[in-house]
Chains A and B, each alone.
Chain A
Amino acid sequence: MPPALLEVESLRVDFPTRQGILTAVDQVSFSIEAGEVLGVVGESGAGKSMTGFAIIDLIDPPGRISGGSIRLKGKAIDNLAPEEMRRIRGRHIGTIFQDPLTSLNPLLRVSDQLSETIRTHLDLSERQARLRALELLKEVGIPAAAERMDNYPHQFSGGMRQRIVIALALCAAPDLIIADEPTTALDVSIQAQIIRLLKRLCRDYGTSVMLITHDMGVIAETADRVAVMYAGRIVEIGPVGEVIAAAHHPYTRGLMASIPALGERRDRLAQIPGAMPRLTAIPAGCAFHPRCAHAGDRCHAERPELTSRGTASAACWLDPRQSAHG
């Protein structure tokens, strides 16, 4: 079997602080196959964005990758020189962030930003790059692209800017796109347009996507598999339908139940008591045990690893049969 497109193994990200070392990402392992969309879901501070940043080596110092390995098409990319990593970003891994305004240079015309990125990664003339930029803008659905490509980012609406960012990410036809909350800053009606666009383009180009979001609805509609993160670790990973309908981990079940849904009006929403622990105070044993209704002695003492439950895996000491109800 050929190696997966992206393989992350036992990844650990540390932040040295005056109070000691904070571990933002701990023992995170997963892989993404070619053409696959992996959703990464979790609440703020769960380490999902940090995992994405680690893959493209954009963790702000003093944070650093302190363990594990990251391989793209079988080749280690977690220890490259900055110049080499620059070539991988953009060429092999595209990125889309939440706020399109921070990803675009406000002083450059859209056409110049696209051409510059295209020519950095592909051997094209200025004219060819401009044609390719126009093609991309048309593809992401910018109306009157030929007339508007020489506008500046502030002349576009939020939804249009995010389309331009997607065009930028696709410039060099990368193998993988890391999309960190790509629709969170957008209105719902625009959100649906962007999700649909992202899905179509990835299908057409065969691009894999790591979709990082707190919005389970977006993941349900887009991802093939989903990894649920809590306090820096993956607590459950599996096919998206299974994780939503029959989650194994009590945190995943609580998370799913607390999402307000249409169709059934409930007097009270299900809620998980408490809040996710801060990185400075991650409990011993299973990090979720203080909020877990099923926690036993072992959960207080020993940290569970991901173990296989059918097609999914969960990190929980509960008996799989017991955890299936409850």
Chain B
Amino acid sequence: MDKTLTDASDDHVVEVRHLSRVFDVSPPLLDRLVERAPRQVVHAVDDVSFAIDRATTFALVGESGCGKSTVARLIAGLYAPSGGTITYGARAAAGQSASATIARQRLQMIFQDPYASLNPRWRVGDIIAEPLVHGGGSARRTAAKRVAELLELVGLAEADARKYPHEFSGGQRQRISIARALAGNPDFIICDEPTSALDVSVQAQILNLMKDLQRDLRLTYLFISHDLAVVYQISDEVAVMYLGRLCERAPTQVLFERPQHPYTRLLLETIPRLRPDGTEREPISGEVPSPVSPPAGCAFHPRCPFANERCRRERPAMRHSGESEVACHAVEEKRLFS
């Protein structure tokens, strides 16, 4: 078993071990009976382990369907895990088991679409105050003052509390989502593609705001994204997912300078460069296989230029390689140049 995966340091905000989630995607019972089709399941998340240090940003990247949002929802408690454990907070690691419910009050989520995640019929002040009022009686009286503080914190004005979401631009709405997330004084925020729906100049504003808030409030972020350039700028540690499993995990600088897993390498090569150096990007051939019937062995082997017999047969486990952890036979056997 891998060493760091079992180590429980004191300052983890969350630690997941061997996390799995299976979804039943079988056809309806009658169809199954008529066609004698078996049950079908998707392993959306399969044996994923990592821990997030306090006041850092941990990024989970991958293409659509790789399971990164499912991991976010599992940690947020929106889905129940099919297997594995999620441990919140350092206290639990130290043996005084904090209940998951209490831990989750310290956890909030920001979603991708700031148009869909705010109730259009509520005033902004009510949207932000909802978690406060829910918290109890005295909270209601101080809510207005707190809403004003929160609005100012995210760069909006106190007067904005009386407006409706449609009166704001996409970037401002995402600021409102952030204010709502901060209302309950969380220390851990799960951000699921928080800037993917925003224009690039507005994206920069939101990323800067998130960095400022992290520094001032000692926030921890789990940052889900498909945009590697954004991840490079905001995160301290990165994990790359492919078909429900982690394939590489490393400190950001290490991952981007010395990517090891062939999938990470190819992913990095496909980023469009602003100043092309004349060399053509080498696109990854093929597509992500269906998660209903993932390839045997290493899930990436059909697209991997380094795949051999062992890769087709045996599923690689996460192993240390330098400062990174990589799940790749070719890396382990040093078949890869680097």
Contact = CB atoms under 8 A, between A and B. Distances in A.
A214 B252 CA distance: 26
B273 interface: yes
Contacts of B281: 192, 196, 221
A117 B284 CA distance: 31
A214 B199 contact: yes
A260 B233 contact: yes
Interface string A2-44: 0000000000000000000000000000000000000000011
A262 interface: yes
Interface stretch (A125-133, A264-272, A305-313): A264-272
A186 B32 CA distance: 33
Interface string A214-228: 111110110000000
Contact of A215 (B201, B232, B272): B272
Interface stretch (A98-106, A165-173, A250-258, A293-301): A250-258
Contacts of B204: 258, 260, 269-272
Given A187-B64, A215-B272, A262-B232, A269 B283 contact: no
A260 B229 contact: yes
B283 A275 contact: no
Give the most central of B227, B229, B272, B273: most A CB within 10 Å: B272
Contact of B200 (A159, A190, A214, A218): A214
Nearest to A245: B275
Nearest to A141: B285
B274 A220 contact: yes
B199 A266 contact: no
A275 B287 contact: no
Contact of B201 (A160, A196, A245, A272): A272
B274 A260 contact: no
A220 B272 contact: yes
B233 A188 contact: no
Given A43-B199, A262-B229, A191 B270 contact: yes
B253 A259 contact: no
Contacts of A271: 201, 204-205, 208
Contacts of B266: 189
B320 interface: no
Given A216-B274, A217-B272, A265-B253, A187 B226 contact: yes
Interface hub of B207, B256, B266, B283 (most chain A Cβ within 10 A): B283
Contacts of A216: 200, 274
B212 to A, nearest CB: 9
A189 B274 contact: no
B273 A220 contact: yes
B307 interface: no
B203 interface: yes
A269 B207 contact: yes
Given A192-B270, A258-B204, A260-B207, A221 B229 contact: no
B283 A259 contact: no
Nearest to B202: A275
Contacts of B171: 275
A284 interface: no
A221 B63 contact: no
B74 interface: no
B172 interface: yes
A254 B204 CA distance: 11
Contacts of B256: 262
B330 interface: no
A43 B208 contact: no
B271 interface: yes
B315 interface: no
B203 A258 contact: yes
A217 B229 CA distance: 11
Interface string A272-311: 1101100000000000000000000000000000000000
Given A214-B199, A271-B204, A261 B229 contact: yes
Nearest to A190: B287
A271 B171 CA distance: 12
Contacts of A190: 63, 287
Quick one: which of B200, B207, B276 has the most chain A CB within 10 A?
B200
A267 to B, nearest CB: 8
B272 A189 contact: no
Contacts of B268: 262
Contacts of A193: 283-285
B233 A269 contact: yes
Contacts of B170: 44
B267 interface: yes
Contact of B273 (A189, A196, A221, A270): A221
Nearest to B280: A196
Interface string A138-168: 0000000000000000000101100000000
A258 B195 CA distance: 13
Which A-B residue pairs are the 7 nearest by beta carbons? A217-B272, A43-B199, A258-B204, A192-B283, A187-B63, A269-B204, A271-B204
16 contacts: A160-B287, A188-B267, A191-B272, A193-B285, A216-B274, A218-B272, A220-B272, A221-B272, A255-B200, A258-B203, A259-B200, A260-B233, A261-B274, A262-B228, A262-B232, A270-B204
